[in-house]
Amino acid sequence: SENCYLNRCQAAKEVGKNPNTISRWIKNGKLINRGLGKQILISKNDLLGINARRSDYSEKKFIYGT
């Protein structure tokens, strides 16, 4: 499937997070900013990948209580 790109607010809305969370994920290296200069563009595939990994972790934490 063709990849598309989202700005910071669109990315946040896509995964139900605050736009500041998206910025933090970029700063921490969890997401790559694919925009130029100050423009933030996030690959939807990257975003869905990180969100899936976070969901797996959350479920394991809930199930095992760790």
Q: What's the confidence (pLDDT) of residue 53?
A: 72
pTM above 0.85, yes or no: no
Q: What's the confidence (pLDDT) of residue 2?
A: 67
Q: What's the confidence (pLDDT) of residue 55?
A: 60
What does the pLDDT profile of the chain (66 residues) look like in tens digits?
567 999 999 999 999 999 999 999 999 999 999 999 889 999 999 998 987 776 655 445 445 554
- Which single residue is written with the structure tokens 């100050």? 38
Q: What's the confidence (pLDDT) of residue 64?
A: 52
